[in-house]
Amino acid sequence: MRLGADHVVVRVPATSANLGPGFDAMGLALGLYDEIEVRLVASDEIRVDVTGEGAGEVPDGEDHLVVRALRHTLEVAGAPLTGMHLRCANRIPHGRGLGSSAAAVVSGIVAARGLLADPQALGRTTMLGIATAFEGHPDNAAPALRGGATLAWSGPAGPRAVDLELDPRIAATVLVPDVRLATSRARGVLPEQVPHADAAFTAGRAALLVEALARRPELLLDATEDRIHQDYRAEVMAATAELVRSLRAEGLAATVSGAGPTVLVLTGPGQQEPLDALLADLVDDVAGWRRADPSIDTAGAVCRSGSMN
Ligand SMILES: Nc1ncnc2c1ncn2[C@@H]1O[C@H](COP(=O)(O)OP(=O)(O)OP(=O)(O)O)[C@@H](O)[C@H]1O
Ligand SMILES: N[C@@H](CCO)C(=O)O
């Protein structure tokens, strides 16, 4: 397919995966965004300018994750590869469990789609498939593409996702530590097998979470219980595990966000004040943590032409 544009701007939300029992399946898009601008150039040159998160750390050429995802998507679409100038304004912290790598991959895929003469030819399922091949699991990529709360799974036809209903009274708070933890490390401590009783427990909670998110926020505490990943991961994120435990003991639906070490708290009606009070009380424990109360993003990845800012 030929290219139809030489300049796109893409915005992609942060995401919190798992939501407790929905390991590798459930995710939520948050109102905290990375934005990229791509300009194709006539030469082979690839130039990457990064501001914000990851500046001076991530590769600045063809190994950059956005560039890799973009070029791979153009290849899949049968479009020609050219050089490009990429500007990234990153706000999603890296290695914290807020889906930074999925946002980078999705922004590259969506940018490539926007450059095609016929963007509609690249559907959402194809984009999810490409993102999942990069990520290894679809739970961040699905809400990054679609916005809102999502449930993703992989079947014979590849990765798929559906939107989950989300009660507008539910709000998200994230507590982001100043230390990073690579997803690969947090996956490396998981066991090959879990006891049948724990799998059954967690499956039931994941099903309950669909109902709690849709219309029963009072069930969020029970519905976010998990026995198949968070406890195993405590050894590589002790402070996170302790904060989750303290918040849950007070009735708040706290979970490890993605592969950690950020803590996600989902609150329903009347829970913001208790959360504020509790975090104020825990001030010594939460030193070194940054609190944010992002909106829940409902747009997902957005592509437009024009300039950033
Ligand atoms: N915007 C970006 N541009 C380039 N590379 C990025 C970008 N965001 C993330 N990465 C790469 O991905 C790594 C972080 O990925 P990792 O999967 O470990 O954590 P995460 O995606 O932030 O968290 P989680 O998957 O648990 O939500 C970074 O160290 C960096 O190498
Ligand atoms: N489901 C993934 C999310 C992080 O990419 C995990 O918990 O490892």
Report pTM: 0.96
**pLDDT tens, position by position, 126-179:** 999 999 999 999 999 999 999 999 999 999 999 999 999 999 999 999 999 999
> Which ligand is nearest the CA of 69, by number?
1
Backbone angles phi, psi at 34, to 5 degrees: -100, 145
> Which ligand is nearest the CA of 255, by number?
2
CA trace torsion 278, 281, 285, 288 (10° rounding): 90
Pocket of ligand 2 (CB under 6 A): 17-18, 23-24, 137, 139-140, 183, 186-187, 258-259
Those residues with Cβ within 8 angstroms of residue 119's Cβ, 6 or more apart along the chain or in another chain: 4, 113, 303
Domain locations in the chain?
7-164+296-304, 171-292
Which amino acid is it at 154? S
Residues of the chain where predicted confidence (pLDDT) is lower than 50:
none
In angstroms, what is the span from residue 306 Cα to ligand 2's centroid? 34
In angstroms, what is the span from residue 290 Cα to ligand 2's centroid? 21
Which amino acid is it at 295? S
In angstroms, what is the span from residue 64 Cα to ligand 1's centroid? 11
Q: Do domains 7-164+296-304 and 171-292 have the same CATH topology?
A: no
Residue 82: per-residue pLDDT: 87
Q: Kindly provide the ipTM of the predicted complex, given to two decimals.
A: 0.98
User: Which CATH number does the domain 7-164+296-304 belong to among 1.20.1250.20, 3.40.50.2000, 3.30.230.10, 3.40.50.1980?
Assistant: 3.30.230.10
Those residues with Cβ within 8 angstroms of residue 245's Cβ, 6 or more apart along the chain or in another chain: none
Residue 86: per-residue pLDDT: 98
Q: Please tell me what DSSP assigns to residue 169.
A: T
Q: Are 39 and 85 in contact (CB under 8 A)?
A: yes
Q: Which CATH superfamily is domain 171-292 in?
A: GHMP kinase, C-terminal domain (3.30.70.890)
